[in-house]
Structure 1
Amino acid sequence: MKFHLAINLERMTPDVDMHEVRDHTLEMVKMADAAGFEIAWAAEHHAMEMTIAPNPFQILTWWGEHAKNIRLGVGVVNAAYWHPINLAGEAAFLDLISDGRLEFGIGSGAYQREFDRMKPGLDQRDSWRYMQEMLPVVQKLWEGDYEHNGEFWQFPTATSCPKPVQKDVPVWVAARAPITFDYAVENNCNIMSWPLTMPMSEAETYRERLDASIAKNGGKYDGRWAMMRHACVYETEADRQNAIDSIRVQLSQFGNLLMKSGEVVNGFPEQVPLDSLEGNARVDPEMLEQNLMFGSPEQVVEKLKPYEALGVDAFIYYASMGLDMAQQKRSLQLFIDKVLPAFEQKDAA
């Protein structure tokens, strides 16, 4: 099983220095690069401080100049916000300047609040249609001249300038729903799944959906499957409690964005009062610690084994969870020093 890092430029309050956030994010990517992580993932989001990512290609270009080996993953671009020619060129340019390290991820977005601003009138639940039209168009533009007359985009003959360095750019689709698993398998795309804060049974459901999609496709599928979880490794009670407290605060903001249940002021989502979340399985402290990749190094090793047994090809260590930057580094270093060796030894054997 390979390991990836997903990290955002993240501010939970206005008093956090943006320069410190910038430097911290790069330091985490360089740590992952030195440790042999396969891919670093950057998201796309707009007008929110908890995920500062207006252009993932710009973020990845910056990381790629300082981290020379790790591959650079777009995790993921929202198809509805782009024009195909623009997207094809941006992605190909990153592949060119990184000497072929692009991992192209595409998806359907998450927050209706964001759609209301970036693509007014589009229901997030319908955005998968944009993704499914966009991907083959981008791939054809990478090949050469192409004219398109689709439902959402129409343009005369054009091509991507530049072209990607890689002959076959790895493509990733963010999938949770059966229809997206079907699309990814039919088009031989790699798949990344995120069970949010749900238990291991949610990941097992995704495995069932993947297997069902492969069966529908005549048993043919050469793609890879990655699973993302919030991760925090700790050795002290103080760090354990801080991790649980931090993720609960972030989840209260995430719920605001997902359900439009509060205001967003200068990019900072209001928190749902924590006492109103007690008993909710998604934020219950005991369940969070059980479901997420939280624990001592030994506990995290044991938690990762079921994912490997499930056939997960890569685990995505999601570092951004409202945790203070010093503890984020301690956690990642513990993961590198005391968790990775358990899986490196197995791979070597």
Structure 2
Amino acid sequence: MTSHLRIGIFCPYDNHGLSHAAAIQAETDLVLKAEALGFDEAWISEHHFDAGSSSPSLFALLGYLAARTTRIRLGTAAVLLPFRPPVEVAEDIATIDILSGGRLDFGVARGGPFPEQNRNFGISPDETRPRMLEALHLIQQLLAEEDVSHRGRYFHVDRLRLTPRPLQDPVPTWIASASEAALDDAAAHGHGLMAGLTSTLDDVRQMLRSYRERNAAADPRLVVSRFYCSAATRDEAIAEAAPFLQQFFDRRRQLSAGPGALVPPTNIEGFLARSLIGSHDEVRAKLADLAVAGPRSVLLVPTSTEAARRCDLLETFRAHIVEGRPSD
């Protein structure tokens, strides 16, 4: 949509008090709207044991979206590798790459800090990062090599050939982490980076700087997610975005604290400042500043609790931010 920055959407599959079926339909509609408007990418989240989210079966959702779309790239944001068998993940990645005609981007994360995930999957928080990195190495081998043997700390395979094979060679891969170990691994293997919704401009610059210090020849292909809502005035945009953000962060703080913990309401002021929320002019300026920081892609989360309005906000972004139409 722009000559220098790819624009996509990030789909957290939050249900905002609706049924899970309605939430899945709403996010499907958002992806279809994004494709129709010319957005470049749609990335899908993975969450478990959360009544407010409808995306534990990430690969099932991606297979469905692959069948419903024709052009937009589809990404995993992100596969929680410590909780999944890597051979099955490699099979799913290859299958969905075929179903999508080679439109899949493979993002991974360690999954946290949500204690219910660790408890129910039986994985210690201390193990999640090394499990993620070992699983990722094994998946990369399975996707690229004919005969794979691996004996690691967590996973073993013997003379395994993956079938089917993906269309892309390689399947583009991202790591959603700014830890030193993850940056080392990403730079060493040429993986891209993913920055979260709450990252600051300084965070973005530091991730890129740290990556390039490790491997100046590789492209970090940084993908940054941002909450988005713009309107004729800043006050109008904040009034619409605030209920969405309040729900989003209150629920995630509760999940991080664990069942039964008392969590006071979140102060969302800082999150508003780090988001693409404000008047159309203000959001255009924020997006320009973000582009200068150096990411490859910016993923929007339209911040309205109403499903139809989230689709409308994508139209608003195209009209007033990309095309720069004056406010009505």
**TM-score scaled to structure 1, two decimals?**
0.84
Q: How does 1:65-84 map to 2 (within 5 A)?
A: 65-84=67-86
Instruction: Tell me, in whole angstroms, the C-alpha distance in 2 between the residues paired with 1:248 and 1:110.
Output: 20
1:347 corresponding residue in structure 2: none
- The CA deviation at 1:155 is 2.3
Q: Which amino acid aligns with 1:187?
A: H
2:263 corresponding residue in structure 1: 272
Q: Which stretch shows the higher mean deviation, 99-108 or 234-243?
A: 234-243
Give yes or no for contact 1:173–1:190 (8 Å, CA) kept in 2.
yes
Which of 33, 36, 49 is equivalent to 2:35?
A: 33
Q: Which amino acid aligns with 1:119?
A: F
Give yes or no for contact 2:8–2:298 (8 Å, CA) kept in 1.
yes
1:215 matches 2:205: no
- The CA deviation at 1:216 is 2.9
Cα 1:160–1:203 change in 2 (3 A) is farther
1:139 corresponding residue in structure 2: 140
Instruction: Tell me, in whole angstroms, the C-alpha distance in 1 between the residues paired with 2:217 and 2:76.
Output: 25
Cα 1:258–1:57 change in 2 (3 A) is same
Q: How does 1:138-157 map to 2 (within 5 A)?
A: 138-142=139-143, 143-157=145-159
Instruction: Tell me, in whole angstroms, the C-alpha distance in 1 between the residues paired with 2:187 and 2:323.
Output: 32
Which of 223, 226, 229 is equivalent to 1:226?
A: 223
1:338 corresponding residue in structure 2: 320
2:243 corresponding residue in structure 1: 245
1:309 matches 2:306: no
Report SS of the residue matched to 2:323. helix
Q: Which stretch shows the higher mean deviation, 227-236 or 144-153?
A: 227-236
Give unpaired runs (5+ residues) of structure 1. 264-269, 278-282, 343-349
Cα 1:93–1:133 change in 2 (3 A) is same
Q: How does 1:28-107 map to 2 (within 5 A)?
A: 28-107=30-109
Give unpaired runs (5+ residues) of structure 2. none
- The CA deviation at 1:248 is 1.6
- The CA deviation at 1:210 is 2.7
**TM-score scaled to structure 2, two decimals?**
0.89
- The CA deviation at 1:239 is 5.4
Report SS of the residue matched to 1:327. helix
- The CA deviation at 1:52 is 1.4
Instruction: Tell me, in whole angstroms, the C-alpha distance in 2 between the residues paired with 1:213 and 1:288.
Output: 25
2:131 corresponding residue in structure 1: 130
Give yes or no for contact 1:85–1:159 (8 Å, CA) kept in 2.
no
Give the number of equivalent residue pairs.
318
Report SS of the residue matched to 2:217. coil
Instruction: Tell me, in whole angstroms, the C-alpha distance in 1 between the residues paired with 2:124 and 2:32.
Output: 38
- The CA deviation at 1:318 is 2.2
Q: Give every structure 1 segment of 4 or more consecutive aligned residues whose post-TM-superposition deviation is greater than 6 Å.
A: none
1:266 corresponding residue in structure 2: none
Amino-acid identity (%): 22
Instruction: Tell me, in whole angstroms, the C-alpha distance in 1 between the residues paired with 2:304 and 2:248.
Output: 6
Instruction: Tell me, in whole angstroms, the C-alpha distance in 2 between the residues paired with 1:35 and 1:234.
Output: 19
Q: Which amino acid aligns with 1:12?
A: H
Deviations 1:173-206 (A, max 9, x none): 112223322221111001111152x6xxx33234
Q: How does 1:106-117 map to 2 (within 5 A)?
A: 106-117=108-119
